[in-house]
Amino acid sequence: MAARPSAQSTAPEVLVLGGGVAGLTAALCLLRAGKRVRVAARAYVAGTTSAVAAAFWYPYRAYPEAMVAPWARVSYARFAELTRSAPEAGVLRRETVEVFPHEAPPPAWASDLPDFEFVPAADLPPGYGAGHRFTSFVIETSVYLPWLMRQVEAAGGELTVHAYASLDEAVGDCPLVVDCTGLGARELVPDPSMYAVRGQIVRVRNPGISRVWIDEHSGSGITYVVPRSHDVVLGGTADEREEDTTPDPALTPRIIARCARLEPALAGAEVLSVAVGLRPARPTVRLEAETRAGGRVVHNYGHGGAGVTLSWGCAEAAAHLLFPT
């Protein structure tokens, strides 16, 4: 889906900056609240960090946990509803197992899930001492992002390709702005606390598996297996302050080997592609309103590795900050 040029005859009430999952979801929430919305982004779908992400519900590298958990809870409910009401959106319900080398306490968000349970070590792959199971949602971004774009346009929103040099320039165009620029906020705001966490993934043909696996505690980075309809996303790495998006060929067999430890059927899977994305990290998620000369900006960025996980919760919170009821 191509975005239209930036000119329009009707001035928007709200300008949303960013064409990834955070920006599109924020725009849709505002449109559903009856606002006139224009989205301005450098790129959509393939040009976004969201497109590279494994994209499954799991609060990863987003802080503080006590603040993040309620936003994640909202998104969980929205994704559950989409599996029932919009099968064309590309949201898949998946059993998910997280494993640990030793016993571990439940995560902060465990009490929010309907079916969270511990898994006996005897039922886990060899070498793991503890684990837990829950239902998560895998978001096929190549389907979901275009679906979000269609929803925005069907609700009367406008998608434009435009890069602002500063927030003041954006406020000059529209006095109400939602800033969902991710890593771009480092220069746009500017916000020097933003930094990249490089993640390399391997996409393989799905050999017939449907369970998500997560191992965040064995070795460096994070290991995950994310089955989609026709492929499986295997990860990965978590290289802080590294911004080279060129895949490292030496990492590919290591990622596959780590994932095959969790799911042996992946050992001989056909490699389809390798890609690198940059997670937009920050010491804390920034979701707050700022008054600027001539307008008001609501910042919604710094989601780390949980952009999809927090997308609906943060979008609804951002809309409320802009238009308190």
What confidence category does residue 3 fall into, taking pLDDT thresholds of 50, 70 and 90?
A: low
Residue 185 makes CB contacts below 8 A (sequence gap 6+) with 179, 191, 194, 280, 286, 299, 301, 302
DSSP 106: P
Q: How far, in Å, CA of 90 to CA of 161, rounded?
A: 24
Reply yes or no on whether the pLDDT at 6 is more than 70.
no
The CA distance from 178 to 26, in Å, is 8
Confidence bin at 277 (pLDDT 50/70/90): very high
Q: What is the pLDDT of residue 7?
A: 41
Q: What is the mean pLDDT of residues 116-126?
A: 96
Domain 14-322 grouped into CATH 3.40.50.150: no
Torsion of CA 50, 55, 59, 61, to 10 degrees: -50
Is residue 192 over pLDDT 80? yes
Tell whether the model's pLDDT for residue 98 goes beyond 60. Answer: yes
**Average pLDDT score over residue span 135-139:** 98
Mean residue pLDDT of the chain comes to 94
Mean pLDDT (whole number) for 105-129 = 94
Q: How far apart are CA 317 and CA 325, in angstroms?
A: 12
SS3 content of the chain, % helix, strand, coil (to 5): 35, 30, 40
Section 301-311 average pLDDT: 96
* Domains in the chain: boundaries: 14-322
Q: Is the pLDDT of residue 217 over 90?
A: no
Residues of the chain above pLDDT 90, percent: 89
For residues 80 and 109, give the distance between their C-alpha atoms in angstroms, rounded to a whole number: 16
Buried b / exposed e along 131-154 (16+ C-beta atoms within 10 A):
bbbbbbbbbbbebbbbbbbebbbe
The two tokens of residue 125 are 């792959």
Lowest-pLDDT choice from 78-87, 138-147, 217-226, 274-283: 217-226
For 203-212, how does the pLDDT look when each residue is reduced to its tens digit (9 = 90+)?
A: 999 999 999 9
Q: What's the CA gap between 225 and 279, in Å, rounded?
A: 18
Mean pLDDT of 39-60: 88
- pLDDT, mean of residues 292-317: 97
